Chain A
Amino acid sequence: MGQWDIYPEFEVVRNEARCTRCMGCIAQCANGVHSYDEKRQALLCDDAKCVDCHRCVAMCPTRALKIVKSDCALRENGNWDGDTIKEVFKQAQSGGVLLSSMGNPKRYPVYWDKLLLNASQVTNPSIDPLREPMETRVFLGKKPERPQRGADGKFTCELPPQLELSMPMLFSAMSYGSISYNAHEALARAAEELGIYYNTGEGGLHEDFYAYGENTIVQVASGRFGVHEGYLNAGAAIEIKMGQGAKPGIGGHLPGTKVGADISRTRMIPEGSDAISPAPHHDIYSIEDLRQLVYSLKQATHHKKPVIVKVAAVHNIAAIASGIARSGADIIAIDGFRGGTGAAPTRIRDSVGIPIELALAAVDQRLRDEGIRNEVGLIAGGSIRSSADVAKAIALGADAVYLGTAALLALGCHLCRTCQTGTCNWGIATQRSELVARLDPKEGARRLCNLLTAWNHELMEMLGGMGINSIEALRGNRLMLRGIGLTAGELEILGVAHAGA
């Protein structure tokens, strides 16, 4: 330690009795924690470099390793907790802007955990999904207000373009660059197998993945990386990224060190050059301008693809969503402030935006009040952690949900929250080939399919319990929700009664 060093947050504990000195951990840790000292013939570890990603723990053949939170304690108090003190130290030392990754870790209320689902008894029998049909298919897009008839009196069945999902879940936008080639491949394979979609994020579409186009949402962000006519037409839908829950009001920045040959080709920028997505779209200053981008994309894709507009959940989100619904967008995606990120300024991630639960409830209510809810599909994201969260989101008004962090967990992520360093030991948030190779795309896809299939089954069980046999009948059905331990104000925004009522 030196005068200005901070005591390590984690300690690596090696059980010498179990360790066979196979040296596996040295190879597994890209952060260089483990090393072997020839002279002393001892395995050493530099705890200061450990990010608690559990890679070495998982791969140690004799289970000789564990990581523990250091008990070397700063004199914390109710106002100055350890993290806050350390953040001041880091900035005093470096003069830098604090940069973090993954979702907002602060202890803000998680409303999913304060909402309870209903079950029916006696008068409205529950349904057993194993014996009876249960519809989890969802169509995302504009729905006509009423059936349309042609001049001959027959129904015209022409619908605006829709996305068809076998279950109300999609993988959220994660760019090639922020995550690895193998992670993208796993998501693409799983989306295809499950009959859902994954999302390119703003990093373009790798040439190898055009084959998964039917299950791909291609994103257009302010930097327009890799956006060209072929890309726009390759996907099943186009998403305009206006905002991201983890960093509302902030653009993206992929450092040049991560822009290798392959990423350079996909993003269509020179190798080694920073990929900077400006905070705003420089051509959008109004809903009318947004409408222009929506329609220019529709025009370039022959009006065959639904256009999604993704925004971060912030104050006034209901009014923003109402504007977007009128911009011609087919689908609105709202990303809550607990949504993940490959890198975001800590202060923005932790203090800007609002929880998705409140945003979703407010938006659904506003669109209904204005009679335009059918004009758009609604996707909610920003930390959906389980099938119960999915069910609650749908009851609050979502058509489907975006899964980001949960999908990465299925791929091996251990939420060490250091994606910004580019040395992800699980081969996800990294571009180093030896690390990327650790993630087998087929195995990853299998685990993603497992997770979503299990969630979908749980969803059917919950639906059945409520005496409902389709997602349609749950959407916006807030009678199926009750709040627990919430204030009158919170209940009003959520549009639910308190438990017991």
Chain B
Amino acid sequence: MSCEINARGLSAVELGQRLEAAEGSVTVTECLGQRFVGAGMDGRRIRIEGIPGNALGAYLNGAALEVCGNAQDAVGDTMNDGEIVIHGNVGDTAGYAMRGGKIYVEGSAGYRAGVHMKEYAGKLPVMVIGGRAGSFLGEYQAGGILVVLGLSGRGPIAGNFPCTGMHGGRVFLRCRPEELLFPQQVTARLAGLEDLEAVRPYIKEFCGHFGKDLEEVLDAPFTLVTPDSRNPYRQMYVAN
């Protein structure tokens, strides 16, 4: 079953109610900045034509969202499960504190992508950014996999201060380690074949979504960033 919702003139709340009531897969047409599309939703497929507003797929709980265009800030905030595919760029704090599910961005991401991503038990959040990422990429990362491919856009593959406060998870950057400046508490090294095997399925999915050639994408040096400790601040305090 599938249906279409024309979002023209609908408020975020109205659009939310219509989506809530709809069953099966839904196409939202003429989306123009409505926030919270898909917030907390599970088990359905939503295709969005136009530009959704902030917090697309916040607390997403299993639904699959696809945006035929750009998305704004806070995509997949605190996402638990599901998939978000963006055929364009995303704004700041994409994947903030996401705990599960996958986000695929064809273009670039703004500041603070993947801040405080975390993994837990069987849940492994993954975000693949096809273009470049802004500053503070993966800040406080506590788990999950962040991949930045640098296939489009200009300048360094990630902005300043990547992986600050990182204490879990992995970041893969399609560049050489010396191209970026990392903080002290992480290790950045050239990814080996085995490391890359672990992300290959996600990059493959990325290529599937956006029509890229997997081997071509993989035929470049990758940097793997991992934290040195799961307890970065342990030594800092004295009881008083």
Contacts and interface: CB of A to CB of B under 8 A. Distances in A.
A282 B116 contact: yes
A420 B238 CA distance: 10
Contact of A268 (B13, B112, B115, B120): B120
A430 to B, nearest CB: 15
Contacts of A87: 240
Given A274-B231, A274-B233, A296-B39, A229 B165 contact: no
B232 A274 contact: yes
B238 A99 contact: yes
A253 interface: yes
Contacts of B35: 292, 295-296, 299
Given A255-B231, A270-B120, A276-B142, A100 B78 contact: no
Given A232-B40, A299-B36, A97 B237 contact: yes
Contacts of A292: 35, 54-55, 73-74
Interface in A255-278: 255-256, 264-265, 268-270, 272-274, 276, 278
Report the interface size class on chain A: 35 or more
A315 interface: no
Interface stretch (B89-97, B189-197, B213-221): B89-97
Interface string A287-301: 000001101100111
Given A292-B74, A299-B39, A346 B139 contact: no
Contacts of B120: 264, 268-270
Interface string B91-122: 01100110100000000000010011011110
A486 B42 CA distance: 58
A228 B239 contact: no
Most buried by B among A269, A274, A300: A300
B140 A283 contact: no
Given A227-B78, A273-B167, A300 B40 contact: yes
A55 interface: no
B109 to A, nearest CB: 13
A269 B143 contact: yes
B140 to A, nearest CB: 5
Nearest to A99: B237
Interface string B12-31: 11001000100000000000
Contacts of B74: 283, 292, 296
Contacts of A293: 55
A137 B89 CA distance: 51
A295 B40 CA distance: 12
B223 interface: no
Contacts of B234: 255-256, 274
Determine the main DSSP class of B at the interface with A: loop
A418 B97 contact: no
A227 B233 contact: no
Interface in B27-82: 35-36, 39-40, 42, 54-55, 58-59, 61, 73-74, 77-78, 80
B198 interface: no
Contact of B42 (A229, A264, A302, A421): A229
A78 interface: no
A300 B12 CA distance: 12
B40 A94 contact: no
B139 to A, nearest CB: 7
Interface in B117-137: 118-121, 123, 136
Contacts of A91: 238
Nearest to B58: A296
B1 interface: no
A476 interface: no
Contacts of B143: 269-270, 273
A303 interface: yes
Contact of B233 (A230, A276, A303): A276
A224 interface: yes
B240 to A, nearest CB: 4
A90 interface: yes
Nearest to A94: B238
Given A227-B97, A296-B59, A253 B233 contact: yes
A228 B101 CA distance: 12
A387 B168 CA distance: 46
Contact of A282 (B93, B99, B238): B93
A273 B142 CA distance: 8
Contacts of B12: 295, 299
Interface of B: 12-13, 16, 20, 35-36, 39-40, 42, 54-55, 58-59, 61, 73-74, 77-78, 80, 92-93, 96-97, 99, 112, 115-116, 118-121, 123, 136, 139-140, 142-143, 165, 167-168, 230-240
6 contacts: A99-B238, A99-B239, A228-B80, A229-B40, A296-B55, A420-B239
Interface of A: 87, 90-91, 93-100, 222-224, 227-230, 232-233, 253, 255-256, 264-265, 268-270, 272-274, 276, 278, 282-283, 292-293, 295-296, 299-303, 345-346, 418, 420-421
Q: Which 5 A-B pairs have the closest CB atoms?
A: A96-B238, A300-B40, A224-B97, A98-B240, A299-B36
Given A228-B61, A270-B120, 7 more contacts: A227-B97, A233-B40, A265-B121, A274-B167, A274-B231, A276-B167, A292-B54
